[in-house]
Amino acid sequence: MPKIAIIGAGGVVFPLRLIGDILSLPELRESTLSLMDVDARRNERTAAAARELVAHYNFPTRIEATTDRRQALDGASYVIVTFQVGGLDAYRLDVEIPRKYGIDQPVGDTLGPGGVFRFLRSAPAYTAIAADMRELCPNALLINYANPMAMNCWLLSRLGINTVGLCHSVQGTSHMLARQLGVPYEEVRYLAAGINHQAWFLKFRRGDEDLYPRLRDVMQLRHLPRRDTAGLAADFGDHSAPDRGDSVYEGGQERVRTELMAAFGYFHTESSHHASEYVPYFRKNADTIAEFITSRWDYYQVCSAHDEAGSTEDLLARLKAALRPSVEYGATIIHSIETGQPRVIYGNVDNRHLIPNLPEGCCVEVPCLVDGNGLQPTVVGPLPPQCAALNRSNINVQQLAVEAVLAENVEHIYHAVMLDPLTAAQLTLSRIRAMVDELRAAEAAWLPSFAAPAVSLPST
């Protein structure tokens, strides 16, 4: 059975959630799980919970724990990445420094200044992993769960690594839409494609019925008027459950995505909080934000409030009570490749003739067939032109960030943030440069070194 390396296994809850998914599939229970993190204490917390889970069910799974990345990767068939370089200390800078300049990011891990700098911090680690994989496990599949998904996967593909990036936004949003319509989820059929956190539901059907006309009516009636969010469930950042019900995160506040559907014709795959960061329309000032998103959801605050030990103990207790898979695709991809059982998943992959009106070589999110032949992305064809155009506004940022790393060109960092739709709508070029300068100085300990010096321009 395969060796599965989890790089960043000391993360809160999520690595253990993935381990539970793997163990829920009988054919994978003889695997070796090699857990690696630079923080030995946190890594051992996850390893101890995994060993307890294995012992509880008397499985033959072997659990290894190491701080040596090469040891974890040596001979691996699958490499799962779940890390955040710099942790909460760096994440705080990603959101607090841009906020000083008027860029308020409720998440800040996908696009904009927060997404670009999270990518820059991650790039040296991905580059080192890629080099080790080429030597120690050249045929392994790297399954990336870390944001910014598109930038990370784009870089890995350019480094020659067989990569798929996984998210739960397609699964979560499809469940939410079925719930909004009162349609049993198992009766829904859909097609989604685009880029991570901005993939479009191109089809949403129940048998022969096109559900889109009703979806547009229901969502506009329910979400375009300002909605009282009192009584909505809180959200603590764990989005792996099959259907969580309406909350302040998803389903309860959907004015942004509903406005985007009304304007561009299609619903897309990330929460209204997160979606508002990728476009220039909804975060002009505090009054505009409050108009479109009544109750704030702040992912940095969610992460800061995590009780790491308590969260791990709670999840372990639930997994010991009932070992059921989550909506995450990682374990099922491994299972399909190992057993040959065919499945369709949504993955973030290299755009090679899959969506022709998005740039060739960028990272796209499309349905993929998985079986004993591996992961096979499907050709979707062109997106509706307006949807592709909005995607391209985000891809511009991703491309310049990736080129900054590959070309070691520091000016492309500035270019990436200058092209961010929200940042460009709020700040002058000189203010963007000042913000990027401050982020570079504050996060210097985690950032890659660049050969090209920064060009100082006069303030205006």
Q: What is the pLDDT of residues 289-316, one digit of tens each?
A: 999 998 888 888 888 887 777 889 999 9
Residue 417 pLDDT greater than 90, yes or no: yes
Q: Which helix (H) or strand (E) holds 111?
A: none
SS3 state of residue 61: coil
Residue numbers annotated as active site? 168
- What's 186's DSSP letter? G
Q: Which of 61-75, 217-231, 316-330, 381-395 has the lowest mean pLDDT?
A: 217-231
The pLDDT confidence band at residue 235, using thresholds 50, 70 and 90, is: low
Backbone angles phi, psi at 39, to 5 degrees: -100, 105
Give which of 409, 405, 407, 453 is closest to 124, Cα–Cα. 405
User: Could you tell me which residues are beta bridge partners of residue 32?
Assistant: 3, 62
The model's pTM: 0.94
Q: What is the pLDDT of residues 193-220, one digit of tens each?
A: 999 999 999 999 999 999 999 999 999 9
How many Å apart are CA 123 and CA 78, to the nearest integer?
A: 20
Q: Which residues of 365-390 are buried (b: 16+ CB within 10 A; e: fewer)?
A: bbbbebeeeebebeebeebeeebbeb
Does residue 331 contact residue 24 with C-beta atoms inside 8 Å?
yes
SS3 state of residue 382: coil
The first and second tokens of residue 256, run together, are: 């942004």
How many Å apart are CA 241 and CA 252, to the nearest integer?
A: 17
Residue 10 pLDDT greater than 80, yes or no: yes
Does residue 312 contact residue 13 with C-beta atoms inside 8 Å?
yes
Does residue 340 contact residue 27 with C-beta atoms inside 8 Å?
no
Does residue 417 contact residue 411 with C-beta atoms inside 8 Å?
no
Q: Largest Cα–Cα distance in the chain?
A: 68
- What's 242's DSSP letter? S
Residue tagged 């000189």 (tokens):
430
Residue 39 pLDDT greater than 60, yes or no: yes
Residue 231 pLDDT greater than 80, yes or no: no
**Mean pLDDT over all residues of the chain?**
93
Average pLDDT over residues 402-412: 95
* Cβ neighbours for 37, distance < 8 A, ≥ 6 positions apart: 7, 8, 9, 10, 11, 43, 46, 67, 83
The pLDDT confidence band at residue 454, using thresholds 50, 70 and 90, is: very low
Does residue 152 contact residue 144 with C-beta atoms inside 8 Å?
yes
Task: Give the Å distances, CA to CA, from 310 to 88, 306, 318.
Answer: 18, 8, 12
